[in-house]
Amino acid sequence: MEAKERIEELRKIIEYHSKKYYDEDKPEISDYEYDTLMNELKKLEKENPEYITKDSPTQKVGGHVREDFTKVTHEVPLQSLQDVFSFEELYDFDKRIKEKADEFDEKFNYCVETKIDGLSCAIKYENGILVQGATRGDGIVGEEITPNVKTIKTIPHKLKEPINITVRGEVFISKGDFEKLNEEREILGEPLFANARNAAAGSLRQLDSKITAKRPLDIYIFNVQKIEGKEFNSHWEELNYLESLGFNVVPFRKLCHNMKEVISAIEEIGENRENLTFGIDGAVVKVDNLKFREELGSTFKVPKWAIAYKYPPEKKETILKDIICQVGRTGVITPMAVLEPVKVAGSTISKTTLHNEDFIKEKDLKIGDHVIIQKQGDVIPEVVDVLKDKRDGTEKDFEMPKVCPVCGAPAIREEGEAAVRCTGIECSAKALRNIAHFASKDGMNIDGLGYKIVEQLLENKLIKDIADIYSLTVEDIASLRKNGKKFAENLVNAISESKNRDLENLISAFGIRHVGKKLAKVLAKKYGTLENLMNATAFDLTTKDDIGEVIAESICNFFKENQTLDLINRLKEAGVNMSHLQEVQIDDRFEGKTFVLTGTLSKYSRGEASDIIEKFGGKTSGSVSKKTDYVLAGEDAGSKLDKAQKLGVTVLSEEEFEKMIK
């Protein structure tokens, strides 16, 4: 392939992945893979300068401004950094700086800082009061996110001096908070974030600041962009001043007098990165002398006085001593590699995930194998290769368990899925997920019994499974909070009220695989009592209810489990309703009509709107077709609205819908 063709191909690939990373916060490749592509493009452009264009990814900052945000033009550009991957390249950088220092007769030091893996933003203060926050965007124009910035607890709303200043910082989510955030999302059935950086970026770029406020965002400030009434000689002075104003300043920073000290600082960061509470994607080396920085200048994209060192992925050989299985809180059984301890990228690795059964088969892994593991940045270490030539015949094959290693319930892998799952509803490993779902709005709708409270109840051993909810006392719950009696009384009342919920709530609350709220409603109406549903065969379900074989089998298998039968008996004893409460249909104005709901409604949840439609004899569907009569569209309606307009389906606003139901 000719250079020009490869350059054009690389630009398309990089633009695609830049959009996924910067704009959609959904990366598909690792930072290392992205950097490799970018470096290849830089090399080709350097060798063929006639093909360099202004719109090349090498000539601009990666992000774009979303149309639904107000645009902010930065008074001082928020530039990117040139990346290097070896100490030789650092010495080349140092050589260039020294040559310029001789030319300008300047003395200088370097400042080395951790390169925090987050989202860069500018924060502006007038008379010491926070007035604006903005994302980096394309470096020149960003997105205004002032309400979101104000929700971050470590950003002061008022400084210790009434000064006009704009600072730059990196918004991030700590490693521990990221794990908790994804764990909670997994339990609540929400899509997981790819990594902490994208979780932070997605949280900060929310149109609703209430969502941002719920996310554990933090920030480290690392630069003065603009300041009035003060002058500094060095970046080091600036950082100390920022700290005195009340900012959370980048924690690891070292003043170095030469490149040898710079490399020592970089190695120190690398060795201790495992102990850092936040993720990093390298180390930043900056000229400390501010006057010399001005003389060095910048390109359109990067300053000539700074550079980012990216830690290369490190590979080590070790032995796969065993494969054990862990049960996650959603019931997924994950094989884990037990390794001969080995130090990789600053941390000792003795265990890592093997993802699933397919991964083990693809790698042809056997217990006793010599394997290569890799750890790039702060990513979980992974087995990347097997040294088959070192096998001596003592290696053993591994098989996934047929029963849950925690509770003994059957472990199944459904067709088309990679995961093996525990089916036991009383499995202690799944307790948090099962109880949180049982109490959720899609389940028994127990107001006040959210994820955090369930977690506290389990940690304090006040409950161990779903049925234990109905044995809780005011005293039990009040013990979780200081002055928590009123909260406890309300929660006990809410738990008691939930006993009278409809059968459809109970079916949905069980969390049967493939059975959501909508199907639970159909089953409750069809069978009337839980006992009737329990006695239904797979044949009954598929022929009478137009349910697929996989779902029918899932329902039948669930009600065969001893753990399920035990739970149902205990719920009966607690007085939980197990019958369908007959609904009164108001009239039949929507008889034979099919609605599709899309977007966010201001006055109703989708569930509430669906209930209203059904009370008037109509039904709802999840997809738009020629058979759809109406599409009820709220804010941010997406592809369903587009399809409805193409098909000529009647689109209703919320106001029009309200007129129809009056």
Name the least confident of 97-106, 362-371, 640-649.
640-649
Residue that wins the pLDDT comparison between 289 and 187: 289
CA distances from 414 to 110, 189, 551, 552 (A): 57, 18, 11, 13
**Residues 185-228: tens digit of each pLDDT:** 877 777 788 788 888 988 888 878 888 888 999 999 999 999 99
CB 195 within 8 A of CB 27: yes
Side chain identity, residue 565: L
Average pLDDT over residues 93-110: 94
Residue that wins the pLDDT comparison between 279 and 37: 279
DSSP code at position 587 = -
Closest among 589, 662, 587, 602 to 630, alpha carbons compared: 589
Give the three-state DSSP class for 62.
coil
pLDDT above 70 as % of the chain: 95
Average pLDDT over residues 147-154: 93
Q: How far apart are CA 248 and CA 240, in angstroms?
A: 11
**Residues 465-502: tens digit of each pLDDT:** 999 999 999 999 998 887 788 999 999 999 999 999 99
Tokens of 654: 């919320």
**Residues 15-35: tens digit of each pLDDT:** 777 777 666 656 667 666 777
DSSP secondary structure of 151-216? T-TTS-SB-SS---EEEEEEEE--HHHHHHHHHHHHHTTPPPPSSHHHHHHHHHT-SSHHHHHTS-
Q: What is the pLDDT of residue 63?
A: 57
Give the three-state DSSP class for 610.
helix
Whether the pLDDT of residue 522 is over 80: the answer is yes
Q: Which residues of 428-453 are buried (b: 16+ CB within 10 A; e: fewer)?
A: ebbbbbbbbbbbbebbbbbeebebeb
594 backbone φψ class: left, alpha, beta (φ>0; ψ -120 to 50): beta
> pTM of the full predicted structure?
0.67
Among candidate residues 12, 20, 115, 180, the one labeled active-site is 115
Band (96; pLDDT cuts 50, 70, 90): very high
Q: Which fold has domain 3-59?
A: Helix Hairpins (1.10.287)
The neighbour count for residue 60, using CB atoms within 10 Å, is: 17
- Sequence spans of domains, the chain: 3-59, 71-309, 313-423, 424-574, 594-661
Name the least confident of 27-36, 279-288, 589-598.
27-36
Q: How far apart are CA 642 and CA 640, in angstroms?
A: 5
**Residues 420-467: tens digit of each pLDDT:** 999 999 999 999 999 999 999 889 999 999 888 999 999 999 999 999
Q: How far apart are CA 190 and CA 437, in angstroms?
A: 12
Average pLDDT over residues 78-101: 94
SS3 track for 416-463: CCCCEEECCCCCHHHHHHHHHHHHCCCCCCCCCCCHHHHHHHHHCCCC
* CATH superfamily for domain 424-574: 5' to 3' exonuclease, C-terminal subdomain (1.10.150.20)
**Residues 335-369: tens digit of each pLDDT:** 999 999 998 866 788 999 999 999 999 999 999 99
Whether the pLDDT of residue 252 is over 60: the answer is yes
* Strand bridging mode 332-344 / 347-353: antiparallel
Q: Report the Cα–Cα distance between both ends of the chain, in Å, rounded.
A: 67
Q: To the nearest 10°, the Cα dihedral for 311, 199, 124, 304?
A: 20
Q: What are phi and psi of 319, to 5 degrees?
A: -115, 135
Q: How far apart are CA 134 and CA 145, in angstroms?
A: 5
Average pLDDT over residues 279-300: 93
The neighbour count for residue 533, using CB atoms within 10 Å, is: 23
Side chain identity, residue 625: S
CA distances from 530 to 289, 436, 513, 585 (A): 75, 21, 17, 23
Whether the pLDDT of residue 280 is over 80: the answer is yes
Q: Please say whether the dihedral angle defined by the alpha carbons of residues 171, 118, 236 and 80, taken in this order, is positive or negative.
A: negative
Whether the pLDDT of residue 147 is over 60: the answer is yes
Was domain 594-661 assigned CATH 3.40.50.970?
Answer: no
Whether the pLDDT of residue 581 is over 90: the answer is no
DSSP secondary structure of 490-529? HHHHHHHHHTT--HHHHHHHTT-TT--HHHHHHHHHHHSB
Tally of residues, the chain:
662
Q: Which residues of 638-655 are buried (b: 16+ CB within 10 A; e: fewer)?
A: eebbebbeeeebebbebe
CB 132 within 8 A of CB 123: yes
Q: What is the pLDDT of residue 592?
A: 87
Residue that wins the pLDDT comparison between 601 and 437: 437
The neighbour count for residue 252, using CB atoms within 10 Å, is: 17
The neighbour count for residue 315, using CB atoms within 10 Å, is: 14
Q: Which fold has domain 71-309?
A: D-amino Acid Aminotransferase; Chain A, domain 1 (3.30.470)
Tokens of 249: 């300043």
Q: How far apart are CA 424 and CA 403, in angstroms?
A: 10
Q: What is the pLDDT of residue 381?
A: 84
Side chain identity, residue 39: N
Whether the pLDDT of residue 321 is over 90: the answer is yes
Look up 115 and say whether it is catalytic.
Answer: yes
Q: What is the pLDDT of residue 346?
A: 67
Average pLDDT over residues 581-588: 72
CB 343 within 8 A of CB 432: no
Closest among 109, 90, 222, 212 to 151, alpha carbons compared: 212
* CATH superfamily for domain 313-423: Nucleic acid-binding proteins (2.40.50.140)
